[in-house]
Amino acid sequence: MLTIKVLGPGCNNCKNVESAARKAVANLAIEAEVIKVTDYADIMKYKILSTPGLVINEKVVSAGRVPSEAEITTFLTNAMMEEG
């Protein structure tokens, strides 16, 4: 199972990343846990300069922008290959 973290204070961009991640998970029909990380200290552990951030299995795959659902699907597919 993949662990997906959306890093950010809860702004619209953060919500858009979370929504796109959930859609990508549903489209791939995979098991994944989507976690919102809103605590500033926890976000800073990932050493990103701006939010929103997207972390899959503790690897930062995107920061400071809203990746498309297609990009997130690619990130998830790559993470599954690394896991597998």
pLDDT number for residue 83: 80
pLDDT number for residue 33: 97
How does residue 25 score in pLDDT terms, banded at 50, 70 and 90? very high
Torsion of Cα atoms, 9 then 13 then 16 then 22, to 10°: -40
| Domain that residue 42 falls in | 2-83
Across all residues in the chain, what is the average pLDDT? 96
Instruction: Tell me the whole-structure pTM to 2 decimals.
Output: 0.95
* 14 labelled catalytic: yes
Backbone phi and psi for residue 45, each to the nearest 5 degrees, phi listed first: -60, -25
CATH number of domain containing 62: 3.40.30.10
* pLDDT of 84 over the 80 cut: no
Structure tokens at 69: 């659902």
* 11 labelled catalytic: yes
How does residue 64 score in pLDDT terms, banded at 50, 70 and 90? very high
Of 7, 14, 55, 79, the catalytic one is 14
Number of domains the chain contains: 1
pLDDT number for residue 11: 93
pLDDT number for residue 42: 97
